[in-house]
């Protein structure tokens, strides 16, 4: 009984700790639309993106995230549109989110554009208590919690060119509590602040190097800093490394299959004591893009 109670307490503690932050991605540089709505339409193409992340493989109840998004510029206007769906599971909890993004872009120089974006999100949060194996299935303290709805709004700015970008965003302005029992919230959605940036260096005619960073700040959690460096060879093959401060080191690879298809993969090595209880994290994504007729892309976009 004590073991089961301990497991329940630890699992819910993990939910509280994890739910204070948005879903985590190693290849954030390709998945910008999920954290910054101003990114919508910035690639100048109808862009489809699908990602699957399995975190801390071998650890029971570890996070699993699935993401599907599409974004595009709107005709010949300065507007961009995007829609994202995220399925995020950790332990007995599941969060399903659907977001709509709208951006507006203005030129600020010959090379740079500045985009402003807003995001609207609908969240559904559920807990399947049976996954905790409670000793008393009829105990009212351990009943399932299905599809608790909460709306949210967010915003972001994104300064970009073909060589560089920097952006700041708050995807969710509204803090929400769920699964309240005696004024104690098991699930807490906190405000996340993101700062991202990157630059492309032409090392020679066939090799490009792109360092990037992402910082994420959320109340009650340490500052998260992600640093990465990717090399693009012959505008086809990408290989790189990433470091998440005091958390993990990652290896990344990608391949531009055609002008339309790009596939990427990453593997995370834990640098914390969690390394003793799991065999790392895997992340794979596929991007498919449809360009306007008669448009010519002289080089694949590196972000």
DSSP labels, 155-204: EEEEEE-SSEEEEEEES----EEEEEETTEEEEEE--EEEEEEEE-EE-S
Residue 65 CA to residue 123 CA, distance in Å, equals: 15
Domain boundaries, the chain: 23-302
CB burial string 190-205: b at 16+ within 10 A, e below: ebbebebbbebeeeee
Question: Nearest Cα to 244, choosing from 252, 234, 256, 236?
Answer: 252
Contacts for 66 with CB less than 8 Å, ≥ 6 apart? 51, 52, 53, 86, 87, 88
Determine the 3-state secondary structure of 230 from DSSP: strand
Return the number of other C-beta atoms located less than 10 Å from residue 295's C-beta: 8
Stretch among 9-13, 160-164, 194-198, 272-276 having the lowest mean pLDDT: 9-13
Question: Nearest Cα to 211, choosing from 250, 178, 252, 241?
Answer: 241
The conformation of residue 63, written as its DSSP 8-state character, comes to -
Question: pLDDT of 235-278, one tens digit each?
Answer: 999 999 999 998 999 999 999 999 899 999 999 999 988 888 89
Question: Nearest Cα to 29, choosing from 214, 185, 169?
Answer: 214
Determine the 3-state secondary structure of 287 from DSSP: strand
Cα distances (Å, whole numbers) of residue 91 to 9, 129, 134, 187: 12, 10, 14, 13
Question: pLDDT of 181-237, one tens digit each?
Answer: 555 555 567 899 999 999 999 999 999 999 999 999 987 788 999 999 999 999 999
In which residue are the tokens 């972001």 written? 156
Q: What is the pLDDT of residue 13?
A: 46
Residue 103 CA to residue 81 CA, distance in Å, equals: 6
Question: pLDDT of 59-68, one tens digit each?
Answer: 888 999 999 9
> What's the chain's average pLDDT?
85
CB 83 within 8 A of CB 97: no
Cα distances (Å, whole numbers) of residue 86 to 100, 114, 198: 12, 27, 25
Q: Name the CATH superfamily housing domain 23-302.
A: monomeric porin ompg (2.40.160.40)
Question: Nearest Cα to 117, choosing from 96, 103, 137?
Answer: 103
Return the number of other C-beta atoms located less than 10 Å from residue 289's C-beta: 20
């Amino acid at each position: 009984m004590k073991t089961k109670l301990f497991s329940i307490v630890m699992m819910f503690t993990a939910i509280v700790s994890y739910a204070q932050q948005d879903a985590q991605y190693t290849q954030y540089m390709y998945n910008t639309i999920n954290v910054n709505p101003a990114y919508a339409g910035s690639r100048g193409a109808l862009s489809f993106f699908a990602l699957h992340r399995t975190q801390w493989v071998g650890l029971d109840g570890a996070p699993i995230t699935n993401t599907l998004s599409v974004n595009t510029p709107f005709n010949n206007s300065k507007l961009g549109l995007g829609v994202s769906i995220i399925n995020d599971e950790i332990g007995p909890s599941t969060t399903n989110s659907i977001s709509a993004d709208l951006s507006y872009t203005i030129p600020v120089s010959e090379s740079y554009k500045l985009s402003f974006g807003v995001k609207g999100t609908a969240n559904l949060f559920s807990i399947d208590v049976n996954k905790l194996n409670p000793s008393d299935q009829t105990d009212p303290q351990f009943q399932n919690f299905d599809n608790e709805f909460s709306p949210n709004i967010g915003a972001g700015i994104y300064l970009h060119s073909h060589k560089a970008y920097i952006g700041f965003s708050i995807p969710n302005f509204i803090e929400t509590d769920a699964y309240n029992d005696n004024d104690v919230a098991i699930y807490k959605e906190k405000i996340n602040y993101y700062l991202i940036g990157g630059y492309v260096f032409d090392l020679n005619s066939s090799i490009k190097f792109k360092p990037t960073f992402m910082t994420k700040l959320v109340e009650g959690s340490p500052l998260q800093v992600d640093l990465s460096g990717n090399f693009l060879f012959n505008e086809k093959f990408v290989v790189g490394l990433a470091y998440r401060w005091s958390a993990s080191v990652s290896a990344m690879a990608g391949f531009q299959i055609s002008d339309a298809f790009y596939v990427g993969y990453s593997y995370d090595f834990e640098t914390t004591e969690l390394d003793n209880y799991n065999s790392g994290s895997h992340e794979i994504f596929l991007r498919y893009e449809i360009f306007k007729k008669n448009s010519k892309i002289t080089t694949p976009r590196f972000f």
